[in-house]
Chain A
Amino acid sequence: MALLEITNLHVALEDGTEIVKGVDLELNTNEKHAVMGPNGSGKSTFAYALMGHPAYEITEGDITLDGESILELGADERAQRGLFLAFQYPHAIPGVTVTSFLRSAINAKRKAAAGGEDDPVPVKVFRTDLLAAMERLRVPRELAQRYLNDGFSGGEKKRVEILQMAMLTPRIAILDETDSGLDIDALRIVAEGVNTLVGPEMGALVITHYQRILNYVTPDFVHVFVDGRIVASGEGDLAHRLEAEGYEAFMPMIARGESP
């Protein structure tokens, strides 16, 4: 049994439009999966649906974590069980500092782990962990006291997403287009963050439509995502074939309803 199992997942918008049309995927800790697909193929919807966004309805299929379906769980409960989503466009929360936000989020997870009893992280432990993580991910110190994503540059937002990922210690991290809008230095830092964190405790699902992040995050598995479906899966070298041939190479197969 894989840690995260996605079976025949169908996702529709509130108006009934089907966006994700039957996806199967298994993911474990210590694995890096890349989901690559063109714009508008439904990748972000797929990511949101995994995290439990209320605007996306799962019309068919299942998502299990540790063998248990999480379809009925809200985003908060999914996070408490170890899912994490790094957003393509992280939202600003004016008036709430990165530090205070992180502490609240960690305490929410700890509370859930303690069966609903408050179990706040000791301030010293939190400080030490935060400073170490910021150092490792090269997040400027001053960001810690700024309001979460409020007036952040694109690169700052993404770094802070990775910082959150490091601090919240998820078991499965989904990164939705985390590479978009990043210069090469920021991209490298984000990739290093993913590489460091993936291990016995965490697996990652990197969603992207660029090849370039995969030059830094070497995926164990690549899935080609077109029109709401995974049309091809393979090992890391699939990414290179995709780069050479483009998504078009995979389109006719979809049209014919074949798998490669």
Chain B
Amino acid sequence: MSQSETEVIRDIRADYGYGWHVDDVSTIYKAPKGLSHELVDVIADHKSEPDWMRAFRHQSLDYFLARPMPSWGADLSGIDFDNIHYYLKPTEKQVDKWEDLPAEILDTWDRLGIPEAEKKYLAGVGAQYESEVVYHKLQEDLEKKGVIFLDMDSGLREHEELVREYFATIIPQNDNKFAALNSAVWSGGSFIYVPPGVSIDMPLQAYFRINAENMGQFERTLIIVDEDAYVHYVEGCTAPIYSSDSLHSAVVEIVVKPRGRCRYTTIQNWSNNVYNLVTKRAVAHEDATMEWVDGNLGSKVTMKYPAIWLMGERAHGEVLSIAFAGQGQHQDAGGKVVHVAKNTTSVITSKSISKNGGRGGYRGLLEVAKGATGSKSKVVCDALILDEESRSDTYPYIDVKENDVDLGHEATVSKIGEEQLFYLMSRGLSEAEASAMIVAGFVEPITKELPLEYAVEMNRLIQLQMEGSVG
């Protein structure tokens, strides 16, 4: 990278604290750039996968190649599929002691504060570096209760039947172009099974780190919450700043069985050279609750609409979405809820913030299927636009096939007023602090839902996004 490019990139996000990278001295295997059936075999070979998975991958690649690029949403024309490494194996094997990792990788996790967080408030941690989960650990007492928390590859090896029963049943391999891509080259991600009646009090966390340039990360997550069980899963993600783009394209499938509850929290903070194109979908059975808390602060482009299918009576779904778009960013975020069964309820709350020419927004679907009588839903989307150059769009699709339903939709667009700023500044807050406070207040309905540590982190990230943005 030339000096001037470096400076330009530094200017774009001087406040991004995760943009460093380390030299991969310990890399075991790095696939050449590009996508092919040979590559699919290489991945399947590395993982010694069963034939059905290998066949699934090949078929998925065909679907990917056959599908056109999406013609809606964000501009994806900058993605060069030939200029991406689709598989990179960073270490020989996964460890369950941090100190067993290669020094430069351990250093990365330390700088991200993951080992520290694990000690303080997590029930289990998976740490994915490039294509593989290099560290994984679950508290012993949870293991004894029958909780399974593994990386997806180990899940497939150790619980093949369970994986096969659910894998790609919530998000079919040909669901969309990027789900097809993930299905072809997936690696890593989490496999979670929570047995009936088991409630995991502290969150399980997965952290996704891209380190190499022109990297593609395609983790695959499957969570099964059995009857009357509860889990809160949290994921975080960061990457170095490079002048060329990386691609992150995950698939997350979740099944919540009767009376179970799953909360899935994302704090996405990719660097501004990452395309983040993720498919997330959950099904909630009778009296089950599914909650997506989706915080999008980073990336160049994000297209992500966590979905919930309310399949059983009285199932409840919630999507809480924050999208913060700064300079050069397009956050096309939102959520989808489909009411299939009677008396199901849902709430979608979206808060989008755009500044310095960023483009934020909400794209959502609320569907009530024939027969889903007595359903209730409320959609609230609020946009906060910080300056004249920035933009926010709202696309609230609603499709209702029943009469006996109760739906509410509210949308607001606001700007930070000079008077509001002056009021706070007259108390001694700088303009940046005052703006950050207004923004933090704006997203508070969502951050208050987060465990304290994550709420603090979210507010800190917003503060960082705000710094240097004004004046």
Contact residues of A with B, CB < 8 Å? 51-55, 74-76, 78-80, 83-85, 87, 90-91, 93-96, 101, 104-105, 108-109, 112, 147, 164, 168
Contact = CB atoms under 8 A, between A and B. Distances in A.
B428 A53 contact: no
Nearest to B448: A95
B421 to A, nearest CB: 9
B445 interface: yes
Contact of B425 (A79, A87, A101, A168): A79
A109 B427 CA distance: 8
A75 B425 contact: yes
Which among A79, A90, A95, A112 has the highest number of chain B CB atoms within 10 Å? A95
B29 interface: no
A79 B420 contact: no
Contacts of A54: 418, 422
Nearest to B432: A76
Contacts of B437: 93, 96, 101, 104
B441 A75 contact: no
A95 B443 contact: yes
A90 B441 CA distance: 16
Given A53-B422, A55-B418, A108-B433, A94 B427 contact: no
Interface in B388-440: 417-420, 422-431, 433-434, 437-438, 440
Given A54-B418, A94-B442, 16 more contacts: A51-B426, A74-B425, A78-B426, A79-B427, A79-B428, A87-B423, A91-B420, A93-B420, A93-B423, A93-B438, A101-B437, A104-B433, A105-B427, A108-B430, A112-B428, A164-B427
Nearest to A168: B427
A96 B441 contact: yes
B444 interface: yes
Nearest to B420: A91
A90 B428 CA distance: 15
A105 B427 CA distance: 6
Contacts of A76: 425-426, 428-431, 433-434
Contacts of B425: 52, 74-76, 79
A94 to B, nearest CB: 5
Which 5 A-B residue pairings sit nearest by Cβ, starting from the closest? Answer: A95-B441, A95-B444, A79-B428, A96-B441, A105-B427
A96 B440 contact: yes
A168 B428 contact: yes
Contacts of A91: 417, 419-420, 423
B445 to A, nearest CB: 7
Nearest to A147: B441
A10 B431 CA distance: 26
Nearest to A150: B441
A156 to B, nearest CB: 16
Given A74-B431, A101-B437, A108-B433, A90 B442 contact: no
25 contacts: A52-B425, A54-B422, A55-B418, A74-B425, A74-B431, A76-B433, A78-B426, A79-B425, A79-B428, A80-B428, A87-B423, A91-B419, A91-B423, A93-B437, A94-B444, A95-B441, A96-B444, A104-B429, A104-B437, A105-B424, A108-B427, A108-B430, A112-B428, A147-B441, A164-B427
